[in-house]
Structure 1
Amino acid sequence: MNTISIIPFDELYAKDFYDLNIEWLETFFYVEPHDEEVLSQAKSYIIDKGGHIFFAKQNDTIVGTVALIKIEDGVFELSKMAVLPKLRGQKIGQQLLQYCLDFAKTQKFEKLLLYSNRKLENAIYIYEKYGFVEIPIETDNPYARGDIKMELILDKLDR
């Protein structure tokens, strides 16, 4: 059986983080200059600023990734989630999402935010299934492609 293990950031996999996300962006949208900058310098933009990157690994292959980007103390953006095209639909993204929720709870984060696009109906359905709710999106949101903002207040998960 090809089980998936979730592992933390390692510079060894920085190219996988970049490649998976660029492929996803080119498939569904386009690569914005800010994307290129963050993805090519993930350690300095995400890890060094208090964020986290996780990888889904199957055997010796990185098959998916996700980031928790620090916004402020206790508040992180769930971002940069991507899965190898040939493995989409196998719930790897949901495993990464669940891992992030569990991690956020153990770290006592207050809430997670995310930006998405309404055309990604399956993704939005999954976010809602995990408890995210839509909130107003700022007019100057960080992503030109973003047309929906969602949040998950983490202490509500324990009630």
Structure 2
Amino acid sequence: MKKTTIYKTAIGKKRILDSYEDYLKTLPVDFDRCYVQTRFGTTHTLITGPTDGKPVFIFQGGNCINPMTLSWFADIWKSYRIYAPDTIGHPGYSDETRISASDNSFALWISDLMEEFKIQKSAFIGPSYGAGIILRLATFLPEKSSLFNISGMRVL
């Protein structure tokens, strides 16, 4: 069976991952990195913030690298425990498996991540495609999200 890829060329994939690493170096905080096995494949996740901080998942925009999205929310890194998974099937280090955005697949993917990190409820931030992912969670597993105010923003 032929392995499929989201990238057009190996050189393109290398450039994206090199950009990911370069962008990560510009962020003024250290991140832990881990790989989580989900029912849809392996998910690379960046984690930062105080271990006792309220959890916040940040989802990248579609076809945007995760460190770029994280840079937009730097104000909350010191107060909240940030979990930033590379969206599965999008640029980054997660498996390249595309999952459906029209059923409960993304909700189940998030549920798998929350289970791995032993999080019952969380706040979520996601621009663009990331917001769509959060809507899938709100639709299929609303009990996983909590409302609280982060730096003047209302989030699910």
Q: Same fold (TM over 0.5)?
A: no
TM-score range (shorter-chain normalised) is 0.3 to 0.5
Which structure is higher in RCO with an 8 Å CA cutoff and minimum separation 6?
A: 2
Q: Of Structure 1 and Structure 2, which has the larger fraction of its residues in helix? A: 1
